[in-house]
Chain A
């Protein structure tokens, strides 16, 4: 049984930031995944034939949410250390898809919109700090998730999903919609105070309601944007007549 030296984990972490390198529709993050394992091939294999097979199985199709990929990487490294080739391939595929679904919900639908709305509110209140607050807070969390993923993936292997029941994740998924809605309300009022004239307030409220309903009904953003612009110009022209 081989064991990956501690220093190589730093290499793995840094290379995991490049998981999406060479992203293609044929093998998705396959090249990035292979590139991560390429750097530790010598540590995890004993002879040339093993090394070639190792690279062949890791440069294959793979897809997941990049921020939670650490869980899959950690689990697969443990499996490689044990020399369980079949388990490695099965783990890689099953964890990839499932972590993708969890990550899309956690990051794209909750964390990113919340921190963006926070950044927008801060921008309106204290200017330049807005982008800085957003960027730093997002990266603090994403780096933590990547490191935690590597550690927990290695410890828990196929049971990594137990970690998503932990206090940290329960708290994260509970507070992000609350804080997101809160920031949205604050942003809405801070912006609306600039639209005190009748025509601007009418346009703002009309388009806000129209786009909220349209986005909920999954209408194309291009169409929503075009209609919003046309509506705005129409309102402007009509109100100018009176």
Chain B
């Protein structure tokens, strides 16, 4: 378990850097990061499964503007890590687990987003320090401040991921035990809810009537694939 915590810690820091500071390669998208988490924790299938649902939760998100936003980079790793831990260490699986976990991850990602904003406000400090370094002709210090700002972001992602992993695993376990009187059948709707929400959010991008014809064509291909698979 210790090595798993270390893996998640590093992965959390890396996805956090990918989300804003370094490269924006989309490694931080839940579809990718959750699968990577699953791979590193030894259950790639579960990682991909939860990654798909988490991706549907955040399809609508565009990093434009400065309002509070969900930090899906940390959410991807926390969500898949908790899902795999609940399965591996507490033998908890099924729709009830998925239902509670997705709700917890969704709201936790907003907390992470709020902290990202605080981090961005704090970065002004490095800006002022760099201005002073230029003013006093201490140019070598600039690299140090840039590196420090990278470390702060990495640290934020790493700590939030490990904290989230423990918090969400415990909370999900607690909620599942407290709702044992509710039948698993009630939670059968979890997947249709998430998928309906995700696909619905796609319509912000391609909701115009002129593109409906391509959606129908895609649907026909999907039908063919569904029948052959």
Contacts and interface: CB of A to CB of B under 8 A. Distances in A.
Whether both chains belong to one complex is answered with yes
A125 interface: yes
Interface residues of A, number: 96
A186 interface: yes
B57 interface: yes
B121 A25 contact: yes
A200 B122 CA distance: 46
A22 B192 CA distance: 40
Interface residues of B, number: 86
A186 B218 contact: yes
A224 B61 CA distance: 14
A203 interface: yes
Given A104-B62, A199-B189, A215-B200, A109 B205 contact: yes
B197 A207 contact: yes
Contact of A181 (B52, B134, B215): B215
Contacts of B106: 222, 225
Contacts of A181: 206, 211-212, 214-215, 218
Most buried by B among A22, A23, A34, A233: A22
A180 interface: yes
B226 interface: yes
Label chain A's interface by main secondary structure: helix
B103 interface: yes
A203 B193 contact: yes
A109 B200 contact: no
Most buried by A among B45, B197, B201, B211: B197
Interface stretch (B5-13, B22-30, B86-94, B158-166): B22-30
Contacts of A67: 24
A204 to B, nearest CB: 4
B132 to A, nearest CB: 11
A202 to B, nearest CB: 9
Interface of B: 20-27, 29, 31-32, 35-36, 44-45, 48, 51-52, 55-57, 59-64, 66, 103, 106, 110, 120-124, 126-127, 130-131, 134, 137, 139, 142-143, 145-146, 149-150, 185-193, 195-197, 199-208, 211-212, 214-223, 225-226, 229
